[in-house]
Structures are given as structure tokens and as C-alpha cells.
Structure 1
Amino acid sequence: MAFIERLLLREDIDALEHDLSRARARQADDDTLQMLEHEISRLKARFAALRSANDFSRAA
């Protein structure tokens, strides 16, 4: 389950980073950029908190 959640979070992070890049290119307002940066940081923290496949193999 954690593997799938990590995969989905990684996809969400990649998509938001792409959105952030596009927002910067079109010179979006600071609130939009800050919201995207905050959401990326939040998802990265969740991603880091999840156990990786390596954690599971070490525990076995």
C-alpha cells in the first residue's frame, strides 16, 4: 500500500512542479506561486514520511 501511495504522491509532486514552472514562466502572482510551493513541500513531506520499498526489504 505504501508503495502505491508513494507512486501517486510522486506523480502529484511532478505535476505540481510542472505547474509551478509554467506559472513562473507566465509570471503568475506571488500568491499562486506560494500556494504551489507550499503544496509541493507538503506532499514532499508526506512522501518522505512513507516507508520505501527498501525499508520493507530491510525489515524482512
Structure 2
Amino acid sequence: MISYRFSAVIEKDEDGYFAFCPELLGCYTSGETYEEARANLLDIVRLHIEDRLADGEEIKPV
């Protein structure tokens, strides 16, 4: 299994927390708590990578 390492940015805002992965365009989410935003981001990144690999695309940070 290939391992990938990407950055995660989680910021508090007026509605809870906003999270994104700067290296993967389109990978962003939110949550009411830090933990929820982190868990949501992990899911989004995993799904993003699975979709790209299924389409035969190479995974490269932007």
C-alpha cells in the first residue's frame, strides 16, 4: 500500500471549524468541533485519492 503525506489546515471560524488540504485542490470541509473537522477532512482526502487513482491519475501535490 502506498502512503501519502499531506498538510492539513484547520481554522476556527464563526460557525465552528474549517479544514482543508492545501496540496489537493478541492479538498475542504468543516465541522462543529476541531475533531469533527479533522475526521471529515481525513474522509475527504481519502475519497479524493481513491477517485483519482480509480481514474488512473497520478497523485502529486499541487
TM-score, normalized by length of structure 2? Answer: 0.42
Which one has a larger percent helix, Structure 1 or Structure 2? 1
Larger Rg: 1
Which one has a larger percent strand, Structure 1 or Structure 2? 2
TM-score, normalized by length of structure 1? Answer: 0.43
